[in-house]
Amino acid sequence: MDLDFSAAEDAFRAEARAWLTAHVPDTPLPSLETEEGFAAHREWEGTLSADRWSVVSWPEEYGGRGASLLKWLIFEEEYFAAGAPGRVSQNGINLLAPTLFEHGTDEQRARVLPSMASGEVIWAQAWSEPESGSDLASLRSTAERTDGGWLLRGQKTWSSRAAFADRAFGLFRSDPGAAKPHQGLTYLMFPLDADGVTVRPIGRLDGKPAFAELFLDDVFVPDEDVIGAPGQGWRVAMSTAGNERGLTLRSPGRFTAAAERLTRLWRETADPSDTALRDRVADAVIGARAYRLFSYGGVSRVAAGGSIGAESSLNKVFWSELDIALHETALDLLGPYGELSDGAADAPAHGGWAEGHTFSLAGPVYAGTNEIQRDIIAERLLGLPKGRR
């Protein structure tokens, strides 16, 4: 058992750090949930991609570095420690790309992945529907067979990044007569500027259009944009859903960097006699450390030939609650300045804590609610009987 990095891993860290030091903007980019910020972040994806830092774990042929999962964790630690911008491409990189690597064709990979890596095409996830959130298999949008492809109809909602994104991927009911809700679903990619697509941005809690509703009215999708076999969409989607909850959505570097910033804030501003607040700072620091070490354990298991299955539900509940605790503690340390939104001139840290707090509040909801994750933990990891939800 050890936590020692190899010389190659240390060299990789040093190279990443040097590149980030030279390239990370001095002033944070505007929020990626605004039109201006979205464009700036797209440009940043291009900067990352030009030096092959946008998708380090991908094979070289698609713009990556073929880096191990551990090197990816190292890169993420350096990325967040450097205060680099949020990733506008993350839906595609973390959710669609793993699906294509596992279920896509060579043609699809060659066509989709390079423009995803460079930020030329930004992807939105179109899974949820108005009546289908946690019970995703109840979705009602349809894909009807037509000459050379499919016609999509229906409504998707809470689609992250869809207000400004270029394309989307999602599940559609292609066989309404299937015996069970999980059957007869097909996984498709489609353009958001196609005929028949209406995008209605939805303001999140802070008013920014962080997601959108999509209305689909006979939207044509060619056969080459079906991922996996028609009718097998559920299996295709679920084989990679664990990625979202588990390691790749929220790498530990995000929280260790936030915990560092929180500790600095506490040292600079806190009343030393306020031990209640001190204890919360300590708990956030410990939580970030625990999450990092737990991730190293997961990476070690994968490297030893194991896999991350239902354990990703442990991660999801943990990081989402940790994220809120980190930001709430920061706002409490900021006192009256904690109320200022990220658009306010006086907002500390360019409003990073304020926007981070708003974002963190969604953590227990998206990527599978924490209630569903706790059910998975109880049933699959503890072996408790299924019951009514």
Annotated catalytic residues are 244
Least distance CB 197 / another protein (angstroms) = 38
DSSP assigned state of 223? G
Nearer to another protein, 238 or 286 (CB): 286
d(CA 112, CA 125): 15
The count of residues in the chain is 389
DSSP assigned state of 384? P
Specify whether the CB–CB gap between 137 and 105 falls below 8 A: no
Query: Is residue 297 within the footprint of another protein (CB under 8 A)?
Result: yes
Handedness of CA 281, 283, 287, 289 (dihedral sign): positive
- Looking only at residues 9 through 28 of this chain, which bind another protein when binding is defined by CB under 8 A? 9
Segment interacting with another protein, rule: CB under 8 A, options 109-117, 125-133, 156-164, 381-389: 381-389
Which residue in 18, 275, 335, 344 binds another protein (CB under 8 A)?
275
Segment interacting with another protein, rule: CB under 8 A, options 28-36, 197-205, 210-218, 368-376: 368-376
Least distance CB 328 / another protein (angstroms) = 17
Nearer to another protein, 311 or 342 (CB): 311
Backbone angles phi, psi at 200, to 5 degrees: -115, 105
Strand-pairing partners, residue 125, are: 169
Nearer to another protein, 22 or 276 (CB): 276
Nearest to 190 by CA among 224, 228, 213, 157: 224
Which residue in 127, 291, 359, 366 binds another protein (CB under 8 A)?
291
Binding string, residues 70-109; x marks residues near another protein by CB under 8 A: x---------------------------------------
d(CA 211, CA 202): 6
**Structure-token match 């939805």, residue found:** 202
Strand-pairing partners, residue 167, are: 123, 191
Query: Is residue 260 within the footprint of another protein (CB under 8 A)?
Result: no
Nearest to 225 by CA among 117, 339, 121: 121
DSSP assigned state of 129? B
Specify whether the CB–CB gap between 261 and 187 falls below 8 A: no
Query: Is residue 387 within the footprint of another protein (CB under 8 A)?
Result: yes
Which residue in 301, 335, 341, 344 binds another protein (CB under 8 A)?
301
Residue numbers of the site for another protein (CB under 8 A)? 1-6, 9, 70, 263, 266, 275, 278-279, 281-283, 285-287, 289-291, 293-294, 296-297, 299-301, 303-304, 314, 317-318, 371, 373-375, 377-379, 381-389
